[in-house]
Amino acid sequence: PAQAEDTQLKLKAFLSHVAKVADDDSRWTSATQIDRLLRPGAKYRNLNPYEVLQVPWDCEDKVIKKQFRKLSILLHPDKNRDNPEQAKQAFEAVNTAYQTLNDPEKMGWVNFVIDEAKESFPYLLIKKRREAKKKGEKIPEDVSQEQYNESFRKHTIKMFADKEIEKQTTIDREQREKRREAEEKEAEKQAKKAKVEYEKAWAGGRDARMEAWLSFEKQAKSDSAGDKPKKKKKKEKKMKGFRPPKHKMQQRE
C-alpha cells in the first residue's frame, strides 16, 4: 500500500508537470504574447516592466536578460511576417520595459509604485477576510500561494494604473494653468500694444487736429460776420429855408 501510494504521488506530480509544460508551451507563442501585450488595458498593464517581461519583481538580472531575449525572438517583426505591425508594437513594449529596468531614474518610479502596492496589499486582504468571515469562508489568497501571487499581481497593475492616471491628471492641470497664464500674458501684451499704437496715432494727428480747429474757427467767424444785419443809414434832415409869416391886411373901420 505504501508503494502504491508513492506511485500515485509520483504519477500526480508527473501529470502536473506535463500540464504545466503544456500551459507554458501554449503561452509562449508569438500570437499569444502579441495578444497579451496589445489587448485592451495594455496601456496601463504595460507600465510595469516586470509585468511586460513576465518576471517577478525580485528576480535576478540574469533572469531578466534571459526573458528579454526569449520575448525578443518571439516578437521580432522578421519572425512574424504575417502580422508585422502588431509584432512591432509588442516588440517595442518589451524593449521599453527592458530599457526601463536598466534606467535607475525610471526604476525609482517603478520601485516606488511597487512599494506602495506591497504596503497597501495586506490592508486589502484584511478587508476581504472580514467580508469572507461574515459568510464563514476563507479568502483564496489564504488557501493558495498561487492565488496570493496572482492577486498581488493584479493589485500592482491597478496601482500602476492609478498612479499613472493621477500623474497625468496633475500634468494636464499644470498644462492648463500654463496655457491660461500664457493667454493672459498675450492678452496683456496685445492691450499694451494697442494702447501704444493709439497714443502714437493720437500724437501723430495733433497737428492735423489743430489745423482743422483753426480752420473751423476762421470759418465760424466768417459765417458769423456774413449773417449780421446791415445797419440802415440815417437819413439826413434837409434844412428848410426860413419863410417869414404872411402879413395880414388890417381893415379900416
Read off the pLDDT of residues 115-132 as tens digits, 9 standing for 90 and up: 999 999 999 999 999 999
List, for residues 156-200, the tens digit of each pLDDT value. Answer: 999 999 999 998 899 999 999 999 999 988 898 888 888 888 877
Binned at pLDDT 50, 70 and 90, residue 144 comes out as very high
Instruction: Report the 10 Å Cβ neighbour count for 198.
Output: 10
Higher pLDDT, 202 or 139: 139
Is residue 248 over pLDDT 70? no
pLDDT at 80: 93
Note the pLDDT tens digit of each residue in 19-43.
443 345 467 899 999 999 999 989 8
Please state, for a pLDDT cut of 90, what percent of the chain lies above it. Answer: 51
pTM of the model: 0.62
Q: What confidence score (pLDDT) does residue 246 get?
A: 60
Q: What pLDDT is attached to residue 190? A: 87
pLDDT band at 15 (very low <50, low <70, confident <90, very high): very low
**What single-letter amino acid sits at 154?**
K
* Spatial contact of 102 and 61, defined as CB atoms under 8 Å apart: no
C-alpha 38/C-alpha 22 separation (Å) is 23
Distance from C-alpha of 10 to C-alpha of 17, rounded to nearest angstrom? 10
Mean confidence (pLDDT) of the chain: 82
Of the two residues 124 and 13, the one the predictor is more confident about is: 124
Query: Which among 106, 15, 90 has a CA at the least distance from the CA of 54?
Result: 90
CA 234 vs. chain centroid, Å, equals: 96
Place of cell 492609478: 162
Q: What is the DSSP secondary-structure string of the chain? A: -HHHHHHHHHHHHHHHHHHHHHHHHHHSSHHHHHHHHHSTTHHHHTTSHHHHHT--TT--HHHHHHHHHHHHHHH-GGG-TTSHHHHHHHHHHHHHHHHHHT-HHHHHHHHHHHHHHHHHHHHHHHHHHHHHHHTT---HHHH-HHHHHHHHHHHHHHHHHHHHHHHHHHHHHHHHHHHHHHHHHHHHHHHHHHHHHHHHHHHHTHHHHHHHHHHHHHHHHHHHHHHSPPPPPPPPPPPPPP-PPPPPPPPP-
pLDDT digits (tens, 9 = 90+) for 210-237: 777 777 777 777 766 666 555 555 555 5
Which comes out higher in pLDDT, residue 96 or 226? 96
Q: What is the model's pLDDT at position 21?
A: 39
Using a pLDDT cut of 70, give the percent of the chain over it: 77
CB-CB contact of 90 with 37 (8 Å)? yes
> Residue 109 pLDDT more than 70?
yes
- If you average pLDDT over residues 99-109, what whole number do you get? 93
